[in-house]
Homo-oligomer: A and B are copies of this chain.
Amino acid sequence: MIVNITLPNNTSYDITIDKLNDIHFDTKVVVVTNPTVSGFHLDYLKKYLSAKELSVVTIPDGEEYKNMSTIDMILNHCFEHRLDRKSLLVAFGGGVIGDMTGFAASIYQRGINFVQIPTTLLSQVDASVGGKTGINNKYGKNLIGAFHQPKAVLIDPSMLKTLPKREFGAGVAEIVKMAVTFNKDFFEWLEQNDLTSDENIKIAIAKSVETKADVVSKDEKEHGIRAALNYGHTFGHVIENETNYNTYLHGEAVGIGMVMANKLAVKVGLMNEEEALRVKNLLEKYDIPTSYSIKDVEDFYEHFFLDKKSLDNKIKFILPKGLGDCVITDEVSKNDVIEVLKEF
């Protein structure tokens, strides 16, 4: 299965969703990965990937290493191996690996190509479209980075066999997000089909990727509709922050965030109770958490303003409009938000 992504500058790249096939690059290639992915899949990758000169840099696993020091590790490896402007980086891992490899590629000698081989469901459906790369710093997440598009994305769903169940669920949460905000047919298909089947997960990945590509193509630099991809994230980011990023996976926090956004959508009349329940049921089918206990509602509310997407002290909410559509609004009253938060 191949999804072709057209970029605003009229170039394009392919997302191939299938078992890996032989690929040869006639350039120097550096594979960026972490010990976990490397342990499970590096030998498998090396069976198929060859290059003029292939080397691997293994960086520490985890969001806490998504910083400039790790970028330096990657860049230094590239300099030591004398990569030139035609060389290529391969991001082999989850979202953190993808974001960092893409960022390193974007600034190495003012930009070289990179290929994504995402190994988690979340990164397969989410990180392979959009060109967002970046790192965290003490001020927040993804605050330093670049828009840098991959040359190609290779998604091999067979790698998901080694993915922990919770991480699989976190990926499903992003798939559900895409369906709820943009595609009612897809949502209904998700209700009727089991994503743990090999064939279905391929279809779901392709559908998610196509949907995201369609949105991103209309808004590469996130000035408008692309913000809708943050459905569940406004709440999710606060949850992640309150729990010090060590309780929920990103996709899980987004799952809870969607349930919160839905309650708000019901409150302001954009969604009915039954629709909200269907989303919740679908999430729970994959054991994605949907409840959360807010300690201090006012404090939770104040946290919204720390989000970099909150310009001019207004909070932008992405609220579903029924199923398969959504609105982006900064006109929800504080009162309505507080009342919804009190239910958690």
Give every chain B residue within 8 A of A110 (Cβ-Cβ): 132-134, 142, 145-147
Shortest distance from the beta carbon of A274 to any chain B beta carbon, whole Å: 38
A311 and B9 in contact, given A107-B144, A111-B146, A139-B79 (Cβ under 8 angstroms)? no
When chains A and B are docked, how far (Å) is the Cα of A9 from the Cα of B9? 7
Produce 1/0 per residue, A82-111, CB < 8 A to B: 001110000000000000000100111111
Smallest CB-CB separation from A134: which chain B residue? Answer: B110
- Tell yes or no: A75 within 8 A of B by CB: yes
Smallest CB-CB separation from A142: which chain B residue? Answer: B110
Number of copies: 2
B144 touches A146 (CB 8 A): no
- Tell yes or no: A68 within 8 A of B by CB: yes
A145 touches B311 (CB 8 A): no
When chains A and B are docked, how far (Å) is the Cα of A143 from the Cα of B87? 14
Give every chain B residue within 8 A of A75 (Cβ-Cβ): 137, 144
Give every chain B residue within 8 A of A142 (Cβ-Cβ): 110
A146 and B85 in contact, given A79-B139, A139-B79 (Cβ under 8 angstroms)? no
Shortest distance from the beta carbon of A85 to any chain B beta carbon, whole Å: 7
When chains A and B are docked, how far (Å) is the Cα of A142 from the Cα of B111? 12
Smallest CB-CB separation from A133: which chain B residue? Answer: B110
State which residues 68-85 of A face B: CB under 8 Å.
68, 72, 75, 79, 84-85
Partner of A84, one of B9, B108, B308: B308
B107 touches A145 (CB 8 A): yes
State which residues 197-241 of A face B: CB under 8 Å.
221
When chains A and B are docked, how far (Å) is the Cα of A73 from the Cα of B291? 41
Shortest distance from the beta carbon of A13 to any chain B beta carbon, whole Å: 17
A sample of 12 more A-B contacts (CB under 8 A), given A8-B9, A79-B137, is A68-B72, A75-B137, A75-B144, A79-B143, A84-B308, A85-B308, A85-B311, A86-B311, A107-B107, A107-B145, A109-B143, A110-B132
